[in-house]
Amino acid sequence: MNVQTFSALAEPNRLAIVDLLLDEPLPVGEIAGKLNLNQPQTSKHLRVLSEAGLVEVQPLANRRIYKLRPEPLQEMDKWLDSHRRMWESRMDRLEGYLNSLKEKKH
C-alpha cells in the first residue's frame, strides 16, 4: 500500500477536492469556487493529488480539467480487504457467541 496516497488525502482541502471530483471532472476555477479556495492554493493541491496519481489533467484551451483516477483508491481498497476480513471475522465470532448465549437461555 502506497503511503503517498494517504499523504495526499491527509489534508482537508485535498480530501474535499477528491470528494468534489467524484461527481464529475471540473476545471481549476470551479473547484476553487466551490470550495472557497484561492486559485494558486487550489493549483498546488491539485498538483499534489496528481503526483500521487489520484487525478489526471486534461487541457482544454486555457483550462485544465481535472478528473479522478481510480487506481490508487483501488489499491487502498485492496489493502483494506485484509482488514475487512479481520473485522468481519471478529463480528462472525461475536455473532456466534451471542447466538450461543441465546440458546442457553432457552
Partner DNA sequence: AAGGAATATTCCCGTCAAGGAATGTTCGGG
Partner DNA sequence: CCCGAACATTCCTTGACGGGAATATTCCTT
Question: What phi-psi label fits residue 68: left (phi over 0), alpha (psi between -120 and 50 degrees) or beta?
Answer: beta
Q: Is 48 in the site for DNA (CB under 7 A)?
A: yes
> Which of the choices a copy of itself, DNA, none does residue 46 contact, using the CB cut-off of 5 to 8 A by kind?
DNA
Residues that bind a copy of itself (CB under 8 A): 1, 3, 6-7, 9-12, 15, 19, 22, 68, 70, 73-74, 76-77, 80, 82-84, 86-87, 90
DSSP secondary structure, 40-69, as one string: HHHHHHHHHHHHTTSEEEEEETTEEEEEE-
Nearest distance from residue 50's CB to a copy of itself, in Å?
17
Handedness of CA 68, 71, 76, 78 (dihedral sign): positive
Nearest distance from residue 58's CB to a copy of itself, in Å?
15
Contact 66, 56 (CB under 8 A): yes
Backbone φ, ψ for residue 66 (5° rounding): -105, 135
> Which of the choices a copy of itself, DNA, none does residue 57 contact, using the CB cut-off of 5 to 8 A by kind?
DNA
Q: Which is nearer to DNA, 41 or 99 (CB)?
A: 41
